[in-house]
Chain A
Amino acid sequence: MTTINLTNFVCPLPLRRYPQIVMGHGSGGQMMNELIEHLFAPVFAGAGQPVPLSDAAVLELPDILANGSRLAFSADSFVVSPAIFPGGDIGSLAVHGTVNDLAMMGAQPLYLSASFILEEGLSLETLGQIVQSMAAAAQIAGVRIVTGDTKVVERGHGDGLYINTNGVGILPPGINPTPGRVTPGDVLLVNGPLGDHGIAIMSLRAGLQFETQIVSDSAPLNGLAAEMLKACPDLHAMRDLTRGGLAAAANELARDANVGLEIEETAVPVQLAVAGACEMLGLDPLHVANEGKLLAIVPAGSAEVVLAAMHNHPLGQQAALIGRVTETHPGVVVGRTAIGGQRVIDLPAGELLPRIC
C-alpha cells in the first residue's frame, strides 16, 4: 500500500488547511468540489479511470440488446472497521464486493458507482489512501468507476467512512447460474482456504497476534468465474462466501434449491493459522467471513474440467471439491466430520462471538 503524500494533491487549500474531513466537505459547495477535484479525480484519473465527477453516467453497453445478453445490476455497502487491514482496505473491498456479486451471477462487471459517507474528522491522508486503493482495485478487476457521491456526517455518527458501490455487468446468453438449477448429484467446489478475511479483521480488532500474520483474501472473482464458466457454461450455481462464510452460502443454496448439501469437513481447505485462531476463539471456520472465495455447484460430470480451470487461475490454485448435493434432508447442510460422525452446519444466529472458556 502506498501512502499518500498530501502535496501530491496539488491544491494547498482547503485540503491543506483541513487535514481532516470537516462538515463543509459534504456541503455541496466549494469545499466539496475541491475535495472531488483534488482528491478523488487525480487518483481515479491516474488509475486510468474516467473521473466520476457527474451525478449520473451514460454507459456504453456493447451488443446488449443485439444478441440476447442481459444486464446484471448489484448494490452493496461497506462498513468494515478498521478501514485498513492486512491484505486490503475498505476501498478495495468495496470494489471487490460488488464485482464479486455480479460475477456470481455469471455476469462480466463493467461499471461501478462509488458513494462515500465520511465522518467529520476522518484524515484526508487515510481517505486518499483508500481512494487510491479503490482505483487500483477497479483497474485490476477491469471495471470503471463512472459516477459517485459524497456526504459528510457529524463526528460520532459514522465509523470513519462508509462506502456504497453499485455495479452493472453483462450476462452473456446461455449463462445462467441460479439455485433453481442445483440438482442432487451435483458437486460443491471452493476456490481456496476459508476464513482468512474474518480472522484477519477479528485479530486486528481483538489485538490478537498469531505466529503467522493472517491476511485478508479480498480479491475480484470475475476473472476466475469467467474461466470456470468457459470450462462449464452449464455451471449450476455460484455464491461468493462473504459474511456468514461457507455455512451461510451453503444454507441459502440448500434452502433456495430445496436440496440437502453434504460437506466433507476434511476436504474443506483452511489455513493452519486460521484453524488455530478459530480454535482459540471458539469459532467455526465455516462461519467466518471471506472476501475472495466462492462456492460453485456444478454437475458431477464437469467437476474435473472446472477444477482444472480453477487450478490454472491464480485465485483458484487451492480449489477443492468439498461435497455434494443430496436428495435427503432438503434445506439442511450436513457436515461429515473427520471421525466419521455427522452434524448440521447451521447459520450462526447473529454476530460471531468469541466464547468464555
Chain B
Amino acid sequence: MKYLDEYRDAPVVRNVLAEIKRTVTRPWTLMEVCGGQTHSIIRHGLDQLLPEQIELVHGPGCPVCVTPLELIDKALVLAARPDVIFTSYGDMLRVPGTFVYAKTGTQANDLFSVKSQGGDVRIVYSPLDALKIARENPYKTVVFFAVGFETTAPANGMAVQQAAREGLDNFCVLVSHVTVPPAITAIMEAPETRVNGFLAAGHVCTIMGVGEYRPLAEKYRIPIVVTGFEPLDLAYGILNVVKQLEAGAYEVENAYARTAPNQGNLAAQKVINEVFEACDRAWRGIGVIPQSGYRLREKYVKFDAERRFPDVGAMQSIESDICRSGEVLQGLLKPDQCPAFGKQCTPLTPLGATMVSSEGACAAYYKYGRIQD
C-alpha cells in the first residue's frame, strides 16, 4: 500500500492544509465534481480540517445519483422479464425507482426487490462478465446496465464491440452514460450558482485528457484543477484552486499528472468515439443537459436495450416531490438543508439516489452529520 499511503501521509497533508490557511483571505466556494471525491473528503474528515472561508459543495459526478428515474424504472421492468438476465454494477441495485411489479401488484422499487420476486438480477464487476453470461445463456437476453461517466464508457464500449464481433445477439445494454464538461457548463449557467472554482475528477481526465476544460475555464473565468482521490491529492487540488482564486487567475491545472496525462488515453477515446455519439441526456434531479451524454451509434443500435424492448421506451416516471437532490447535485443546497434529510429520508428509506449511493452527498452527510449531535 506504499503507493496509497504516500497520499495519506498525515504530516504532508497537514503542511498543505497549513498552506491553504496561509493563502486564503476571503470566502470561496469550491465544487468537487465527482462523487468519489466527495466520499474521500468525508471518509478522511478533510472537510473539517479546512479553514472556515472554504466551503466545499458537492457536484453532480455520481453516476448512481444522476441516472434518471425513468432509466431506473426501465431497468426494473427489464429485470422483471422472465426472458431477461439483468446485469449491473452493485451500487445500482438499491436505487429506488417507482415501478409497480405487474404480476404481484407489489411495489418492487429497486433491483434487489425485483430479484427477490424472481427476476434474474446479477451483480457483475465488468461488462465483460455480462458478455460471458450471455454466451452461457443463449436462450435468454442479457441486459447490461451501462451506467457511468467517461471512466466506464471505454469498457462498456468494448463490450459492445466484442458482442458485435462474436455475433452475440442475446446481449444488449441499457445506456445511461453522462459526460462532465456539459455538466460544468450547466452549473455555471445556472443563475443561482455560487461555485468559484472546480476540482475536476482525475480519473475522467485519465481517459479524456484536460483539453475540454480550457474553453470552460476561459468562458466562465473559473479555475479548474484536475484532482485525484486521496486526501493529499484533494488538499493539494484545493490549495491550487485557492491560489488561483486569490491571484485572480483562471487556468486549467493538472494536479493529477501522475495518472492523467494531458491528452488522456487515446485508445480509450477511440473506443468511445467508435461506439458512442454525444446526445442530450436527462440528469436525475437536474433535467436535460444538451449534448451531455452518450448513446450508441447507428451501427450498434441493435445492442440498445431500449430498442430491443420498445415497450420500455415510452415509460414515464414521477419523481418524489419532497426530494431536493437536484439542488444538492448542483451545489445549491447542502443535504442537511433538505427538509426530509434524516427524517423521511435515510440510507434505509432513501427518497433520492443521493441518499442511496455510497458516493452520494446526502449519504455522506447523513453519516457525518451524526457526529455533531
Interface residues of A (CB under 8 A from B): 206-208, 272, 275-276, 279, 282, 284, 329, 332, 334, 337-344, 346, 349-350, 353-357
Contacts and interface: CB of A to CB of B under 8 A. Distances in A.
Nearest to B151: A357
Contacts of A357: 36, 63, 148-149, 151-152, 203
Contacts of B94: 349-350, 353
Interface in B70-115: 89-94, 112
Interface stretch (B192-200, B285-293, B334-342, B365-373): B365-373
Interface of B: 1, 4, 8, 10, 13-14, 36, 42-49, 63-64, 89-94, 112, 123, 125, 129, 147-149, 151-152, 203, 231, 347-348, 358-359, 367-368, 370-371, 373
A272 B5 CA distance: 11
Q: Which 10 A-B pairs have the closest CB atoms?
A: A341-B45, A353-B90, A349-B347, A339-B13, A344-B367, A354-B90, A356-B89, A337-B44, A342-B45, A338-B8
Contact of B125 (A208, A272, A276): A208
For B13, B43, B45, the residue with the greatest tally of chain A CB atoms inside 10 Å of its CB is: B45
A355 B90 contact: yes
Interface of A is mostly: loop
Contact of B371 (A344, A350, A355): A344
A339 B48 CA distance: 11
A66 to B, nearest CB: 48
Contacts of B63: 356-357
Given A279-B4, A339-B14, A357-B149, 19 more contacts: A207-B129, A276-B1, A329-B373, A332-B373, A338-B231, A339-B44, A339-B49, A340-B10, A341-B47, A341-B49, A342-B45, A343-B45, A344-B368, A350-B112, A353-B91, A353-B123, A353-B358, A355-B90, A355-B359
A275 B5 CA distance: 11
B370 A354 contact: no
A7 to B, nearest CB: 34
A247 to B, nearest CB: 11
B90 A343 contact: no
B89 A355 contact: yes
Contacts of A337: 43-45, 231
Contact of B348 (A329, A342, A349): A349
A341 B232 CA distance: 13
B371 A356 contact: no
B50 to A, nearest CB: 10
B63 to A, nearest CB: 5
B14 A356 contact: no
